[in-house]
Amino acid sequence: MNFIKEILKEIPSPSFSVDKTTIMYRIEGEQSIDFLDRISTNKISEETKNISSKTIITDNKGSIVDILSYSIINDSQINFVIKKNNVKKTLNHLKDFIILEDINFILEKPIIKLSTFNLDDSTIQKLQKQSLLSFKYDNNLINSREFFIYENDFEKLSIYVLKDNKIQEISKKETNLIDLYTKKINFDNRVSKINPLECGLYEYISFDKGCYIGQEVIARLHNYEKISRKLTYFISEKPVRKNENIKINNKLVGKIIDFECYEENFFGISLIKKRAFDNFANNGLIYLS
């Protein structure tokens, strides 16, 4: 993993990147909180009002449909963020599980996702005042945060907060490398049959809340320690594709989740069978030929 650490050290600090591939919706209606709590993995209640968090939408088999960033605005309104690629499948899934709830899904104003790295506390506080949702990701190399901000507020914010403090903008490729290194899942719901426990997303799962879609499968896998795959780095000299199967010695051992091309290599994260990981991983890394 030394090479990826060297790449990250070359990235300007502090820095930021902008992503316009997300869309914000709101669930509106008196039963909004009860509805989202009923169908997702986290405990969602009025006690978490004005606190941004993430939750996972799963299907009946416990596979991820989407990972939602959300914030409870008031008793009858929740804002949540979906990647543009995921909108159709995620909204259809949510609507399929409305039973008696009197709720609506309403498209919000255009937003941007602002990813920041190694910002000082005063700059973070300024951004938090402007953002709808804010999340923190810590690791041993870089302190990264995610903000979702209305697009029409961002231009002014960029000039007076980011550029005024000489914070440099980095490329999408550099941002992706950071996300991959920190094993942050930018989930694409066209990738099928992935359980949230396999991805290590325990912090977004409540094991003591009531039933939700897929709860029985997830609880059984957790209680009986039946998780058979683990999130693992890989490097390949040959081009790869998302959701592509990984074979070693002509045996199917895993699946590619996400990747980025750097120079002549493809670096990414994959779901690998535990036995294959034990046999072929070197310092937590699988080399594909």
User: 271, 261, 210, 215: which is closest to 240 by C-alpha?
Assistant: 261
Distance of CA 19 to the CA centre of its chain: 13
Q: Distance between CA atoms of 65 and 191, rounded to whole angstroms? A: 9
Matching residue, tokens 């709808």: 132
Give the phi and the psi of residue 265 in degrees, each rounded to 5: -115, 160
CB contact burial 106-140 (16+ within 10 A = b; e otherwise): eeeeebbbbbbbbbeeebbebbeebbbbbbebeee
Identify the segments of the chain with pLDDT beneath 50: none
Question: Percent of the chain having pLDDT more than 70?
Answer: 97
- Please check whether residue 258 is in contact with residue 242, taking contact to mean a CB–CB distance below 8 angstroms: yes
Which residue stretches of the chain are H helix? Answer: 2-10, 32-39, 87-96, 121-130, 151-157, 172-181, 215-223, 274-280
- Please check whether residue 72 is in contact with residue 49, taking contact to mean a CB–CB distance below 8 angstroms: yes
User: 273, 226, 272, 180: which is closest to 62 by C-alpha?
Assistant: 226
User: 19, 180, 131: which is closest to 85 by C-alpha?
Assistant: 19
- Please check whether residue 112 is in contact with residue 18, taking contact to mean a CB–CB distance below 8 angstroms: yes
pLDDT at 252: 94
Amino acid symbol at 36: L
Q: Distance between CA atoms of 57 and 63, rounded to whole angstroms? A: 8
Provide the 8-state DSSP code for 13: S
Could you read off the pLDDT of 1-41 as tens digits, one per residue?
566 777 778 888 899 999 999 999 999 999 999 999 999 99
The four Cα atoms 118, 122, 123, 127 give a dihedral, to 10 degrees, of 120
Amino acid symbol at 91: L
Could you read off the pLDDT of 106-149 as tens digits, one per residue?
999 999 999 999 999 999 999 998 898 999 887 766 789 999 99
Q: Distance between CA atoms of 119 and 48, rounded to whole angstroms? A: 26
- Please check whether residue 11 is in contact with residue 174, taking contact to mean a CB–CB distance below 8 angstroms: yes
pTM summary value: 0.91
Matching residue, tokens 């980025």: 260
The tokens of 25 are what?
């919706």
Using the Cα atoms of residue 228, residue 284, residue 287 and residue 189 in order, give the sign of their dihedral.
positive
- Please check whether residue 233 is in contact with residue 284, taking contact to mean a CB–CB distance below 8 angstroms: yes
